[in-house]
Amino acid sequence: MSADPIALARELLRCPSVTPAEGGALALLGKVLAGAGFAVHRVTFSEPGAADVDNLYARIGGAGPHLAFAGHTDVVPPGDEARWRHAPFAGEIADGMLFGRGAVDMKGAIACALAAVLDHLAANGGRPRGSISFAITGDEEGIAVNGTVKLMKWAAARGERFDHCILGEPTNPKRLGDMVKIGRRGSLNATLVVAGTEGHVAYPALADNPVRRIVAIMSAVMAEPLDNGSDHFDPSNLEFTSVDVGNPTINVIPPEARARFNIRYNDRHTKASLKALVEARAATAAQGGRFRIDWEPSNADVFLTLPGAFVDLVCGAIAETTGRAPELSTSGGTSDARFIKDYCPVVEFGLVNATMHKTDEQVATADLALLTAIYRRILDRYFA
């Protein structure tokens, strides 16, 4: 069984696993893990209106402590393949770089975790002093309804208990060791709908222009920060992304105006507190005029894994291997860690994210070796 992360990464990159296609990636992982003595489960989840998606859960060991590696083998589409220097599903290496869709996000990191675990097991008689598992989904880059959220629920229902989890998303801006993510902001989408009364633009007194009111409400909602940030988070932010009236004529006051917005929020807020705050600001600005806010359902809650022994262990392993003390960050978009945080503390550390979702996505083969060494050190310390 090969414990070479570069060879494993190349094999994974050759699986065309654009969401929701499995592409052979989970089968490959399952084969390697089963060969190492893991009990491997392939589970397919369904949801009305969404494609079925394959997931994998594999565990070795029956006792605690239980460390899980989480991740996804699905990838975003490669776009125009002709624009790639090396074909996106060929796993080619040139000048020390491994090219391919998913190289950093995040098949490369899965290959590193797998290689580190195989090495750790080989050095310890084939069994961990506790349990190691892999929770790998094929539904992260899409709408993420048939992936980690259901896989964790499924595992919990069969009695799986996790002590800690490492999610190998690409967290480093420039160099391996730059950044560990210990939390993520929550995300909430909504549409502001302002009703008015249509009429002739020359007779505004006979109409009720919703454009005036939506401008006032938008200004009021944006005028003050939602909070001033917290110990581990930047201030929450509300950003309008679209204003829509759809009026083809210049001399008609329209009957309705809409504006869409997104809020990225920190641990000073909940969805309920944000809704109350924004609704109150809007109501004041509307001065009795008609409006409503349609809030979309969201499964992207804010979370924070408080710094402590586990975060210290991970950061210590990174510092010892790379010579860099990683920043503890909660920046960026949401991740599947939001679905894991309800089961155990989770931190994210993976490869360099500079080329994720881009043409010519690539990872330095040296980084694959280095990340494997970091994961290996984490395992050795965790099961010491």
- Site for Zn ion, rule CB under 5 A: 105-106, 169
Residue with tokens 């510092």: 319
CB of 170 to Zn ion, least distance (A): 7
Residue 124 or 299 having the CB closest to Zn ion: 299
Which amino acid is it at 201?
V
Active site residue 92: no
CA–CA distance, 134 with 381 (Å, rounded to integer): 18
Closer CB to Zn ion, 92 or 169, in the complex: 169
The residue of the chain with the least Cβ separation from Zn ion equals 105
Cβ-based nearer residue to Zn ion, 21 or 319? 21
* Among 140, 178, 267, 348, the one annotated catalytic: 140
Q: Closest separation between CB of residue 19 and Zn ion, Å?
A: 11
Q: Give the whole-angstrom CA distance, residue 197 versus residue 201.
A: 11
At its nearest, how many Å lie between Zn ion and the CB of residue 256?
38
Residue 77 or 204 with smaller CB distance to Zn ion: 77
Write down the catalytic residue from 11, 22, 54, 74: 74
CB of 106 to Zn ion, least distance (A): 5
Residue labelled with tokens 């098949």:
107
74 is catalytic: yes
Catalytic residues: 74, 140
